[in-house]
Structure 1
């Protein structure tokens, strides 16, 4: 099946990311400003998507919600990559007892479903967006550590790595100059496919009241707040749900396009 070309996938993600970054300048109203006299208004020139049950502008809340969601997902990505790469490369380069201990630790994290593990972490750390970010990252890093460890094991016997060791380069220098750049493509594909998954986790945990606290705008919180008004004003639920759906779809399309571009086996099969 023909997938979306990489430039178009990148453009869609860039459009969503741009809307999130520019929210302070393009949002027409203060997302937290309430006006009960204007509650549940339909779309109009003053409020393009209408208002919610507290009279807050829905478009402004969607834009600021994108900012919160993208920022949290970026933080999750940074934590997962940092922890996964550090553990995976350490295990792959040192081997022996260090490798065995670190991989058993990964196995322990991988045996528990990620959402259950995230809920456990939130129970230990407490609620709040920062703790939700840490919890999601801690429930996903082990897959990255496994991937990085396997790739590091395959790379460390390559001729250029052996030559670097003979030349006297330290293990840290070898990892930085030779191993990490070789891992970048595989990590980019895996991360782009996981971004939508993390977005769903984030929205779901916020929906449960464990992440962003009201009245801060965030898509999961917006859906939770709008539940009592689903029959009378269904757009309050449907619009943030559509924003989550579109974002997850954009990330998945980007992941598929990157995989097609960076995976040699897939390119050969396509030809």
Structure 2
């Protein structure tokens, strides 16, 4: 089963990522172009997957929706890694009161379910994709800070780190030369397990009207827009839903494969 799962995961993620990157060239029409005379058309040579209730090409919107979703997840990943690494390494290297304070802050973030915390953040920051990205990142960084701190505490006592300190290397140089390479594996495992989770958050918040606003092409928005037409045109809901499902399944399978390869002893985590 595992021999099938890994190629399947790579294939799913690679296909969706390629669609996202190549959307400007693959999309046959402008995803926001409306034409009410062509509303709810079935698949045809001009519109391979048909059109939606405003006459917009469904294939083009799916492709551009992939671009929006992957861009959001990539931005979340960058923010989470930056904040988590910064806080975790500072706490691990400085120790003492700084470590205790930063870890209590992490504990406070980790006690609240991530979706609830993200909704609270959006309430404070306002709606929009940028704020959704920031809110999701702020609701997940604490797990990464905890992991980085633990690895940093383990490495801080190693001889080569002590030698670097004696040699006069700054803490920033020690982080860059000795800590970051050691953190790459554990962070890759944790991040790979979270990518699908973040994708669902982005789509769910957009579905609720908290992310991108119509007429932007995004999978959560497409599902929300298509709800009134589910009985008459179910594919308007099924296709973006299937895109989300396949992408999340691909991320989850890929995350399991990365975990088994790099850190088989690491338990599943639930946010």
TM category (shorter chain) comes to: over 0.9
Structure 2: segments with no counterpart, 5+ residues: 267-271
- Aligned 8 A contact 2:92 2:150 in 1: yes
Report SS of the residue matched to 2:32. coil
Q: Distance in 1 between matches of 2:48 and 2:54?
A: 16
Which structure 1 residue ranges, 4+ long, deviate > 2 Å from structure 2? 1-12
Query: What is the CA-CA distance between 1:264 and the residue it aligns to?
Result: 5.9
Deviation at 1:159, TM superposition (A): 2.0
Q: How does 1:83-232 map onto structure 2 within 5 Å?
A: 83-232=83-232
The 1:10/1:160 distance shift into structure 2, 3 A limit, reads farther
Cα distance in 2, alignment partners of residues 3 and 107 from structure 1: 38
Partner of 1:36: 36
TM-score if structure 2 supplies the norm length? 0.95
Q: Could you give the per-residue CA deviations for residues 194-231 of structure 1, whole angstroms, max 9, x where no partner exists?
A: 01000101100000000000000000000000000000
Structure 1: gaps spanning 5 or more residues: 267-271
Q: Aligned-pair distance for 1:166?
A: 2.2
8 Å contact from structure 2 (residues 61, 218) kept in 1: yes
2:12/2:246 contact within 8 Å kept: no
Q: Is the 8 A contact 1:3 1:256 kept in 2?
A: no
Verify: 1:52 aligned to 2:52, yes or no: yes
Aligned residues: 266
CA RMSD of aligned residues (A): 1.4
* TM-score, normalisation: structure 1: 0.95
Write the deviation string for residues 95-118 of structure 1: whole angstroms up to 9, x where unpaired: 000000000000111111111111
Residue matched to 2:249:
249
